[in-house]
């Protein structure tokens, strides 16, 4: 029998892990934040925090207004309703509500006063550029990957006009419309001067590659990404699979980009709710196994939305070194599932995965998303190192720092270079 780790040793271990987890700067590999100079698209501040679509979904369960009429209200009015319903009339226990409070608290604001006008006054003194630095410092985030879509009219125009890049913000090229709704995407590509027809002829596929190349270069996109419905399959040669195999994957190889697949989103389960109306379903990861095996030179960054897919994803990652699991995506980004997913991945993959991405849509959210994840990560790692200590193996501070650095972005960077 091994000797139990004494409480004293365990506390020292926990303190060492906490120090490493809190002091390691994060590379946030998937967000919906924008470079502050990219066409004014960056969202921040108390009203944006309150109208986050995760909270929209929650207020919809409580308030009497129909979603359509709620969505037509001014943003400040929506924010007031959400504040009253979710924070004043009920306790803000959900993860999305708690996130607002963690953010305000870490910014030094007094949440117990429950005073929305006072909070608004405090935010009014900031401008986007200085506030970016404040939030990144507080969250200890060193770089932020954006989600950049040429299919978004506002965003496309801002890229075409050009702007001075903030080097902390890194581009990732998002191509959902191209892969999930080809007929519509084909019309848009044609409008933009690419010679594409509805059928996927060789010429059309070459033009799709020209489109991907143009935008990769314009944005300096580090990886290409798509979110896919649970039904996605490569078996029947559907348009999505054909485009992926004949345009996207060869493009990624040519430009040295990993391809990020976010699997299992069921869009518009309740279309009335807009962004808040999406749901999830379990994906067939056989399709992913096929892609990893058939395209060994390509690299796949993968996250899954269904909890039921998490175990299979880890097992697949043990089989394929060109597969890198990342993050606890969206409905998985709650402490209960972060704890579970981190432990599962550590036990099956060691530290060869990326623990989390924030998916923040509002800048200030990086504060709470990373605060909450860091708590889960510290606790999971402390337990794991304590298990090792039972054998007499005690990690050094430098080893813990190395491991944490890998989990918070280092392993991702290595994977991108592989
Ligand atoms: O987490 C979210 O905010 C979702 O709405 C999605 O944006 C999702 O993360 C995605 O990238 O599709
Ligand atoms: Zn996202």
Rounded distance from Cα 285 to ligand 2 centre (Å): 20
Query: Can you tell me whether residue 125 is helix, strand or coil?
Result: coil
In 72-152, beta strands by DSSP E:
141-145
* Minimum CA distance residue for ligand 1 atom 1: 330
- 412/228 Cα distance (integer angstroms): 21
Question: Backbone dihedral region of 213: left (phi > 0), alpha (psi from -120 to 50 degrees) or beta?
Answer: alpha
Q: How far, in Å, from the CA of 278 to the mean position of ligand 1? A: 9
Q: Encode the chain (418 residues) as per-residue pLDDT tens digits.
A: 556 778 999 999 999 999 999 999 999 999 999 999 998 999 999 999 999 999 999 999 998 767 778 889 999 999 999 999 999 999 999 999 999 999 999 999 999 999 999 999 999 999 999 999 999 999 999 999 999 999 999 999 999 999 999 999 999 999 999 999 999 999 999 999 999 998 999 999 999 999 999 999 999 999 999 999 999 999 878 999 999 999 999 999 999 999 999 999 999 999 999 999 999 999 999 999 999 999 999 999 999 999 999 999 999 999 999 999 999 999 999 999 999 999 999 999 999 999 999 999 999 999 999 999 999 999 999 999 999 999 999 999 999 999 999 999 999 999 999 8
**Paired tokens of 276:** 């808040």
- Kindly give, in sequence order, each residue whose CB lies less than 8 Å from that of residue 263, ignoring residues fewer than 6 positions away: 227, 228, 230, 232, 283, 285, 288, 302, 303, 304, 305, 309
Q: In testing the pocket of ligand 1, which one of 359, 360, 363 has its CB within 8 Å of the most ligand atoms?
A: 359
**Substitution candidate for ligand 1 out of 28, 30, 31, 32 with most atoms within 8 A of CB:** 32
Question: Ligand 2 mean position to 15 CA, how many Å?
Answer: 32
CB atoms within 10 A of CB 157: 10
142 Cβ inside 6 Å of ligand 1: no
359 lines ligand 1 (CB under 6 A): yes
Q: Which domains does the chain have, with CATH numbers?
A: 7-416 (3.20.20.140)
Instruction: From 330, 334, 361, give the residue whose CB has the most ligand 1 atoms within 8 Å, as the site to mutate.
Output: 330
Residue whose CA is closest, atom 3 of ligand 1? 359
**Where are the strands (E) in 249-372, listed by range?**
259-263, 265-266, 279-280, 300-304, 323-325
Q: Kindly report the number of other CB atoms within 10 A of residue 191's CB atom.
A: 8
DSSP 8-state assignment for residue 247: I
Question: What is the reported pLDDT for 236?
Answer: 74
pLDDT at position 3 is: 64
* Cβ atoms 213, 251 nearer than 8 A: yes
Q: Is 227 a pocket residue for ligand 1 (Cβ < 6 Å)?
A: yes
Say what the pTM is.
Answer: 0.97
């Amino acid at each position: 029998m091994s000797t139990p780790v004494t409480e004293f040793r365990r506390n020292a271990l926990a303190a060492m892990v906490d120090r490493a987890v809190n002091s390691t700067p994060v590379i946030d590999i998937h967000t919906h934040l924008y470079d502050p100079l990219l066409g004014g698209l960056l969202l921040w501040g108390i009203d944006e925090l309150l109208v986050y679509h995760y909270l929209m979904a929650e207020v919809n369960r409580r308030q009497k207004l129909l979603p359509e009429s709620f969505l037509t209200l001014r943003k400040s009015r929506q924010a007031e309703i959400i504040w009253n319903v979710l924070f004043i009339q009920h306790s803000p226990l959900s993860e999305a509500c708690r996130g607002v409070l963690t953010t305000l608290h870490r910014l030094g604001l007094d949440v117990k006063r429950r005073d929305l006008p006072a909070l608004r006054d405090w935010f009014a003194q900031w401008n986007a550029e200085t506030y970016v630095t404040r939030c990144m410092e507080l969250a200890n985030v060193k770089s932020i990957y954006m989600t950049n879509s040429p299919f978004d009219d506002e965003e496309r125009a801002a890229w075409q006009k050009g702007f001075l890049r903030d080097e902390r913000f890194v581009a990732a090229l998002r191509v959902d419309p191209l892969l999930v709704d080809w007929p519509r995407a084909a019309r848009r590509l044609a409008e933009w001067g690419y010679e594409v027809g509805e059928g996927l002829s060789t010429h059309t596929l070459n033009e799709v590659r020209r489109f991907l190349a143009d935008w990769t270069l314009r944005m300096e996109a580090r990886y290409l990404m798509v979110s896919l419905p649970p039904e996605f399959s490569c078996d029947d040669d559907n348009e999505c699979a054909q485009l992926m195999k004949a345009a996207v994957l060869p493009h990624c190889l040519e430009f040295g980009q990993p391809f990020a697949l976010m699997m299992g989103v069921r869009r518009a389960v309740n279309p009335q709710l807009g962004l808040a109306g999406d749901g999830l379903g379990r994906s067939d990861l056989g399709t992913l196994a096929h892609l990893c095996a058939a395209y060994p030179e390509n690299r796949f960054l993968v996250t899954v939305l269904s909890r039921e897919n998490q175990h299979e994803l880890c097992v697949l990652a043990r089989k394929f070194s060109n597969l890198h699991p990342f993050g606890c995506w969206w409905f998985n980004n709650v402490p209960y599932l972060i704890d579970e997913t981190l432990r599962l991945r550590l036990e099956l993959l060691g530290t060869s995965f990326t623990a989390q991405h924030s998916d923040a849509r509002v800048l200030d959210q990086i504060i709470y998303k990373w605060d909450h994840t860091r708590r889960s990560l510290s606790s999971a790692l402390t337990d794991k190192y304590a298990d090792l200590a039972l054998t007499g193996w005690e990690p050094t501070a430098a080893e813990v720092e190395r491991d944490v650095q890998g989990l918070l972005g280092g392993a991702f960077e290595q994977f991108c270079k592989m």
